[in-house]
Structure 1
């Protein structure tokens, strides 16, 4: 059957995948958002359903007051001996750790720390031994992909950390993953930085310790010279074999807002790319080493895409997330509504305001929600980070209640428009496309246009960092804000 990329839309970067019990499981980076590390399940590598998060308790990861794009980097998921392992980095504390579970639908363990530096850690299991690898410096100060043997029960190092490969020459060598295929060891990595020069490279060896010889055709997958083209940033992938014996790479990539405008606001998304092994044991990926929108895959199934998100058809604990270390005393969850109790913390702070959000999953959408507020300010935000976000809100004024549009770019806080309303409640509406977010307030049967903001200012090219736009509900100030009748409909 034919499928279309990305197979998971929106800010779900750094995918890692494993197979177990006839299904596939994937994790992605979450940075400053809590719960951490979204967890997906799929029967076919194309249709993915989020089933929860890995890091669901505050003692599993420190996110308190961290900057945007800090926190949880590049997880790897592996299955061995009936147990799932997720290994990752808290880049803010500079700690590598893993957690585990015997029930993929249940809770994960407390963290087990490994005394090896670098980021993007991974695990490889063979013959009762566990190898831990990351990028960074080995015990002799040599940089590259670093590996040691560990005790999987305790995280204790059982060998020195040794540099086993230094890549193909691209900058920012990262994302190492080890595989054993037909008796050979394959080490796949990313180079070039998670931007327009991003690429996947790999090497092969006869031993888990090397010597690793790079593929002569590296990079095996990249869109760095594929221009003008909407898919860019292809890299940071994980290799997986499907039920038919065919190989694929699940990797990240991003979609530009327009062919001639190199900006991306949806974050880094998940792409599925076919892999072919040749008789000599080397593999190629994609079409001539590049990623396309459409491919064919064996199987009798249909790619499905959810277009409408509401309070009723989403789960507060699965689809939605919060900033950093939320105070759940500020949240009242109901089946078809939510009440947020504001505090002195705002969206401009590297902290935890009363905030709950979904990832923006496509360029064209319409979001609406009915809001009533008894003080302070509450509303809807298109949120990239604390310095870049657009907010449409209700707040109390001397005359009653006003709708306000605020555009925050580069730390410059601008009030674009305010309109007095004749009611204490209104429907707030955001209509987005590739180029603009347009903001409206509907009250007493009348829809009022408040203004717009360019999408390109809520992008990694402007804001920096590694996340994507979140469509959030928020409340600030000492108040209670009630949200109901929520819908986010993608075109």
Structure 2
């Protein structure tokens, strides 16, 4: 064989490889094009809150509303460094995890991100919505100029964990797993440089006296290893304020130092109707601790259940010095609807705390909470302006044109970036095979319900190609309790359907044939427990589908768990229901 022939035939493997790569690339592009053709594009979303309480109580110039964060932002914890306040909240299986907010005045807040925003930190891929991340606490250690966020992750085999950062604006470390059981850990850094962890735990084996009997433990904490020191654990509260009265669920402890003494503040009574805040004091961080004679120092459990503008379940507080030198506490509570159902979840409230005497006193913490408070001296209310979180009745207009999606939008069990794509026409959601009932990542972009009375409207362009394709808008309490208002296909026709899922069982409440050659406008209108799902083909005239339906399945009363209703822009290629 001639040399030229050898060179000629030697080129063929490269030619074949090049052709193969071209075919593969074309196939991949074509597959993505076909997938995108089945992917809805949401060009607009408008949320409008209209609760009567805010119309009845307009703000004066020196006032602000409480809750300061409306919707499902439970279990608040707060820390101050200099003029900066940072506040974190439970996120369960929402993604990213542990929303973190910043303020300079306790009134105007900006969300700066999430503490847990990487798969190496958050492992909730197969967790129920009310599993995952519970009760974070955030602390600052001036001795090493480090922030700590400590929490319990009921997923991924992690358990109790801590992450650290020098700058909360720039991200957090991977987790350090902590060698103790129980929940609700918090750190305390003393003036002498020593560090401690306190947390809720079960009594010693064989010593549980009743259902809900828990204890508070303390450990010495090694700052070099980010780990508790073996053998240093000690029970410092057994049962609660008075164990002879069988107190339940003493939890979420925080230690504060004042008057050269150590104050231990905890929630007691469970995170429901008997919730409260209590306090103890000691001359040593490791105890013994003596309860205040006036416990509980905050609760709404003794009040008239028929009072106006009810706030219930108050507790789980964290105390901080305000910008005016006075003290304030952030805590969780709920605002039930007219049927006593909790659809917004546990929200973040604030109250001033008078600590001029021996014990901290929550100002008006034992009487019905007012919907508005006086601002700290020198503060100007700018909520809803210049990037600050809105408060009261407000409107959110989202056209998805911003370079960065607002932090208020979240995924479930996995990154939102896995299924969203910005296009020149709006936000495209690439459908997962998992549908909304799966205990797995779902292709739905969620925002929290923040009012008992609200309207949420979105504009969607979408043509389903098969009966397994569906896209639309959802109300989602959890994987077993939700409403789906979506467009799908049956035979050669396109339908809009309303699906109710209760305890995992789905029912089609109503359906209608529609023309989707133009965008469809989908709308949810809620007035307390009454929800209506409306649609429009021209953007002006809306029609109802399914009548007025109950929000019962969107409440924690019926669905259980610890979250509030989420409103989602949703797509799936695994639809398992068909129009009637």
Per the TM superposition, whether the score is higher than 0.5 is yes
| Structure-to-structure mapping, 1:223-262, within 5 angstroms | 223-228=300-305, 229=307, 230-258=310-338, 261-262=339-340
Does the Cα contact within 8 Å between 2:129 and 2:479 map onto a contact in 1? Answer: yes
Partner of 1:463: 559
| TM-score normalized by the length of structure 2 | 0.78
- Whether 1:277 and 2:362 are equivalent positions in the alignment is no
Specify which structure has the bigger relative contact order, considering alpha-carbon pairs within 8 angstroms and separated by 6 or more residues: 2
- Whether 1:310 and 2:397 are equivalent positions in the alignment is yes
Does the Cα contact within 8 Å between 1:139 and 1:162 map onto a contact in 2? Answer: no
- Whether 1:111 and 2:111 are equivalent positions in the alignment is no
The structure with the largest alpha-carbon Rg is: 2
Partner of 1:154: 225
Q: 1:325 Cα deviation (Å)?
A: 2.3
CA distance in 1 between counterparts of 2:203 and 2:509 reads 52
CA distance in 2 between counterparts of 1:286 and 1:397 reads 60
| Structure-to-structure mapping, 1:174-253, within 5 angstroms | 174-228=251-305, 229=307, 230-253=310-333
CA distance in 2 between counterparts of 1:360 and 1:262 reads 16
Secondary structure of the structure 2 residue equivalent to 1:196: coil
- Whether 1:298 and 2:363 are equivalent positions in the alignment is no
Secondary structure of the structure 1 residue equivalent to 2:557: helix
CA distance 1:334–1:317, shift in 2 (3 Å): farther
Q: Which runs of 5+ in 2 are unaligned?
A: 1-61, 208-213, 385-389, 576-580
Partner of 1:386: 479
CA distance in 1 between counterparts of 2:542 and 2:493 reads 18
Q: Which has the higher strand share?
A: 1
Partner of 1:91: 154
| TM-score normalized by the length of structure 1 | 0.92
Partner of 2:422: 333
Does the Cα contact within 8 Å between 1:312 and 1:336 map onto a contact in 2? Answer: no
CA distance in 2 between counterparts of 1:475 and 1:54 reads 27
Partner of 1:20: 81
Does the Cα contact within 8 Å between 1:46 and 1:272 map onto a contact in 2? Answer: no
CA distance in 2 between counterparts of 1:119 and 1:222 reads 22
Does the Cα contact within 8 Å between 2:98 and 2:116 map onto a contact in 1? Answer: yes
Secondary structure of the structure 2 residue equivalent to 1:194: coil
Count of residues paired in the alignment: 476
Secondary structure of the structure 2 residue equivalent to 1:131: strand
Q: Which runs of 5+ in 1 are unaligned?
A: 480-491
CA distance in 2 between counterparts of 1:359 and 1:212 reads 40
CA distance in 2 between counterparts of 1:395 and 1:73 reads 37
Does the Cα contact within 8 Å between 2:435 and 2:574 map onto a contact in 1? Answer: no
CA distance 1:416–1:476, shift in 2 (3 Å): same
Match of 1:347 among 425, 429, 436: 436
Q: Which has the higher helix share?
A: 2
Secondary structure of the structure 1 residue equivalent to 2:200: strand
Partner of 2:241: 168
Secondary structure of the structure 2 residue equivalent to 1:405: strand
CA distance 1:334–1:22, shift in 2 (3 Å): farther
CA distance in 1 between counterparts of 2:471 and 2:164 reads 39
Q: 1:243 Cα deviation (Å)?
A: 2.0
Q: Deviations over 1:240-268 (max 9, x none)?
A: 1112211111000000102xx32110010
CA distance 1:64–1:400, shift in 2 (3 Å): same
CA distance in 1 between counterparts of 2:452 and 2:227 reads 46
